[in-house]
A and B are shown apart, each in its own frame.
Chain A
Amino acid sequence: MPSGLLVQSVYVSDEGGESGWRVWEDGRHESRQAGAPWELVSTLDGEQLAAIRDALDAGGLDEMAGVHRAGDDTPQHAALWFQAVSRGEPKTVALLGGARLDALDSLNGTLVRVLAGPDFPFP
């Protein structure tokens, strides 16, 4: 996990394309489309950053297993790599082959609402 990163969520498709979003400790919120470089979306203010940190600390990352697989044991190439600093420790959760994890859905929902602000169309 790169130094200075607070949270990043990167999806790698089965053909190797990468996309995702991340937030740095200095408040930079960046996004990456498949096949494109990282781009700055916004700079979070102190209140938003604090909300992100609180969500990560309370999001249950400690209780989540590191790797989750969907389906059978065939090699799976598509994966979500969710990495964050929670309670001062780096944590990584990988969802392979389209695996689902309700606790991560919930945490991601909280983070998206913080990033998007009050105008987000889904409460």
Chain B
Amino acid sequence: MDPRGRRLLDPLEREPEASPLPEAERERPLRAPGSPLLDLQRRAGNAALSRQVARDPAVDVARAQADAQLALFMSHGYTLDNFHPSTGRGLFSATYNPYEGDLVITVRVAFKFVNGNPFDPTWFAAIGGLAGWAGKGWTADDFIWKDDEKVKWRTQAVADIQSVWSERYTFFTQKPYWEGLPPVNVRVVIADAPESGDDDEKAQWVIDVNKWPTDADMEEAMTRPGATDDQSTGVLHESTRDAGGIGSPDAKHFSRDTSARARYADADAANPGPIRFAQGKADISAGDAAALQNFGRTLGLDRMPPFPVTVTGRASSEGTADRNSSLSEERARNVSNEIVKGGPQVQPTSDSKGADGATPDPVWRRVDIVIGSFESDQRTVVHEFGHILGNADEYPTPDPVNPTDPPGDRPVGGRPSHSALAERLIPGQQPVRAHHSDNIMANGEVVRPHHYVAFLEALGKMTGTLGQWDIAPAAGAGAHGPGDFPVAPVKPGGSATA
């Protein structure tokens, strides 16, 4: 038997071997479901258990076997060092304690603090040459790390990464009759490690952290490790003169409107506004309703950013101010409701102007519909560690300069490399589509279930239970879903919660 329990044995066929856990751990009582049959197996062995099962027709054989398997499964811990997710990205280690329901993902990191070189050709071009430098008053301190700055940056970065990536989702076994197995909570731990040394102690990631006066939008990346590599590298760029100073990992603000990519213009094309109304009326015609619902559907496409939409109701100047105010409100509300029926990602914001600035001209009896920019913020380091944890980028590459040229390697609607694994391992998971969004692997910091897929794969591989788990939001703030992602129905005898 694999001492780490990577292959499950049927206890009816063979006695379990000694647990690899320390003695103190092994002496703890198991929390597996109590069963007279299990007691019999422990007391008298598998042969006795088999005889008992064969004699008693009332015995639920499937449950008895499951109970015994679960007891064996929970009798020891599991470890996996230098795991390479099949997404082709990432490198980390994992330990799983089934008794506690504790999955710890450990990344051993050596942060190397690198002083910026003011003559670096890429940085100098990125800031726009001397014109980008003029009048800034930058000094050597803007390029050279001090010891206290290193400590402060590292402390904050590690706290940010662990906070963003830990305890977002919980894994539940789907194996029949394994209700007694505690849900699996995930903690991500970033551990300092030397750049070289023993294989199981040295850093899995050696990351250059460059210091610059300002963010020049230079490439920050984590290199894909080879299939057998036990170490890889990364590059981060940090700014001295941004809002948080050098002690705080850099954040970027993103703003994307419908002109950002050609396919986003579908939202403009589907926008039926302005919607016109008869005098004193707020009803939506069947034709307008269909167009508004189609607009909502377009805004809800999985390749569309969560564009905010504002609907503004208006009225012509006939009638009282109160009547015009309520009429414009009702018109905006009705338009908004029709859009919502189509399933946009973001509820429209309703506004009403009454007859402000209006004349009796019928053109004022309308609702305007404006698609705004999708805005998001992201700390770069928490995004980049998403690569270390097995995920690819989800933001789309730029459209080709010439529309007839071939698309980039990750066009809008393309499937990032972790999508296939997520579709395979997460029940009900739909394909992940490249687009600008608040996802942590796109432009925001929202961790969604498919971002945990490499953890799920690690858990499955080290316990021999690949594909037997479901996922649900963890208790506590910050978890996204349900409604945000698919939750598979509970299988008979399974322990997933709906």
Contact = CB atoms under 8 A, between A and B. Distances in A.
A14 to B, nearest CB: 6
B125 A13 contact: no
Contact of B129 (A17, A41, A74, A107): A41
Given A33-B132, A121-B138, A9 B124 contact: yes
A104 B397 CA distance: 28
Interface string A98-122: 1010001111110010011000011
B120 interface: yes
B128 A105 contact: no
A78 interface: yes
Nearest to A75: B409
A14 B221 CA distance: 11
A22 to B, nearest CB: 8
B397 A21 contact: no
Contacts of B140: 121-122
A76 B235 CA distance: 14
A13 B117 CA distance: 19
B122 interface: yes
Nearest to B132: A33
A73 to B, nearest CB: 8
Contacts of A121: 138-140
B218 interface: yes
A48 to B, nearest CB: 12
Contact of B132 (A19, A72, A109): A19
Given A20-B125, A80-B125, A97-B221, A115 B119 contact: no
A71 interface: yes
Nearest to A10: B125
A16 interface: yes
Contacts of A19: 125-128, 132, 216
Interface in A53-69: none
B276 interface: no
B217 A17 contact: yes
A72 B229 CA distance: 12
A112 B129 CA distance: 8
B119 A108 contact: yes
B468 interface: no
A112 B125 contact: no
Contacts of A36: 128
Nearest to A71: B223
A122 B119 contact: yes
- Most chain B CB within 10 A, of A72, A107, A109, A115, is at A72
B221 A70 contact: yes
B159 to A, nearest CB: 26
Contacts of A98: 122, 218-221, 235
A10 B124 CA distance: 9
A51 interface: no
Nearest to A17: B217
Interface in B151-165: none
Nearest to B409: A75
A95 interface: yes
B224 interface: yes
B286 interface: no
B121 interface: yes
A76 B219 contact: yes
Contact of A105 (B120, B132, B409): B120
B130 A31 contact: yes
A26 interface: no
Contacts of B127: 19
A76 to B, nearest CB: 7
A80 B128 contact: no
A87 interface: no
Contact of B128 (A21, A95, A97, A104): A21
A32 B221 CA distance: 25
Nearest to B392: A74
B416 to A, nearest CB: 12
A108 B127 CA distance: 14
A75 B117 CA distance: 26
B131 A71 contact: no
Contacts of B126: 11, 13, 19-20, 34, 80
B223 to A, nearest CB: 4
Contact of A21 (B129, B138, B139, B224): B129
- Most chain A CB within 10 A, of B119, B127, B132, B397, is at B119
Interface of B: 117-122, 124-132, 138-140, 216-221, 223-224, 233, 235, 397-398, 408-409
Given A19-B132, A112-B119, 4 more contacts: A19-B128, A112-B124, A112-B130, A121-B140
15 contacts: A9-B129, A20-B125, A20-B128, A21-B128, A31-B130, A39-B131, A71-B223, A71-B235, A98-B221, A107-B121, A112-B124, A115-B129, A115-B130, A121-B140, A122-B140
